[in-house]
Amino acid sequence: AVALEDLKFTLQEVLDTFKSCLSEHKEVFLEHYVAGWRGLVKFMNCLGSVFSFISKDAVNKIQILVNHLNGENGAHYVTIQSMVKYELDSQLVDLTKRGSFPESGCRTLLRLHRALRWLELFLERLRTSTEDSNTSVMCSEAYNESLAQHHAWIIRKAAGTAFWALPGRATFFDVMNVGSPEQVMAVLGDTLPLISEVYQVTEDLYAQNNILELP
């Protein structure tokens, strides 16, 4: 049975999870990163079934990472930094074309990482929006500036169609469940810098290792 509390979602909790991602040495804990994504998916599921093709893919990728974490080599997957080092050193990553390692932690996390950039751009728009701002427009602008560049035409088409089904700003804020629009804005203002930091740390790590374009 699913407990009621599990269904109740608050934006604050999800954003707090991203807060706990970073260690004092700026390493990213995979467990918390994945938990953050779980929360986001829960939120997306509240928005309606048109988004289920998106949440299915996200859930699938989350599960791949959880399996690595719980697997016999789980100790190497504690942080994104240790994961990258381990998988590259042990040649567990397809670097140029898909082959033996379609479920490497590195390529799987890269997909979520790119989506995190979308989230950052979208939440930034939401934070600076006004009552008459259109969520579908904000969402597609954020998408076109980020994830879309990594997606085939058919996916872009499907995503674009789904965006038109997004609820309006007021509903969005209700579902977030943090209180008044002013409180939503405050929470966004507090946590966006943390999401940006997690994004940037990961981006730099991937750039240094030359793995930003993994197939």
> In the complex, which residues of this chain contact ligand 1Q0 (CB under 6 A)?
11, 14, 40-41, 43-44, 47, 51, 53-54, 57-58, 111, 115, 118-119, 123, 139, 143, 147, 155, 159
Geometric angle at alpha carbon 187, from 184 and 188, rounded to 5°: 85
Q: Which is nearer to ligand 1Q0, 75 or 171 (CB)?
A: 171
What is the closest distance, in whole angstroms, from the C-beta atom of residue 147 to ligand 1Q0 in the complex? 6
What is the closest distance, in whole angstroms, from the C-beta atom of residue 25 to ligand 1Q0 in the complex? 26
Q: Which is nearer to ligand 1Q0, 24 or 49 (CB)?
A: 49
Contacts (Cβ under 8 Å, ≥6 apart) of 146: 114, 117, 118, 121
The rounded distance, in Å, linking the Cα atoms of 173 and 190 is: 16
Which tokens in the block code for residue 11? Answer: 């934006």
What is the closest distance, in whole angstroms, from the C-beta atom of residue 6 to ligand 1Q0 in the complex? 17
Q: Which is nearer to ligand 1Q0, 86 or 172 (CB)?
A: 172
Long-range contacts of residues 119-126, Cβ cutoff 8 Å, at least 24 apart = 119/40, 119/195, 120/192, 120/195, 120/196, 120/199, 121/145, 121/146, 123/188, 123/192, 123/195, 124/192, 126/169, 126/172, 126/188
What is the closest distance, in whole angstroms, from the C-beta atom of residue 155 to ligand 1Q0 in the complex? 5
Phi, psi of 29 (to 5 degrees): -75, 120
Q: Which is nearer to ligand 1Q0, 19 or 75 (CB)?
A: 19
What is the closest distance, in whole angstroms, from the C-beta atom of residue 146 to ligand 1Q0 in the complex? 9
Q: Which is nearer to ligand 1Q0, 80 or 123 (CB)?
A: 123
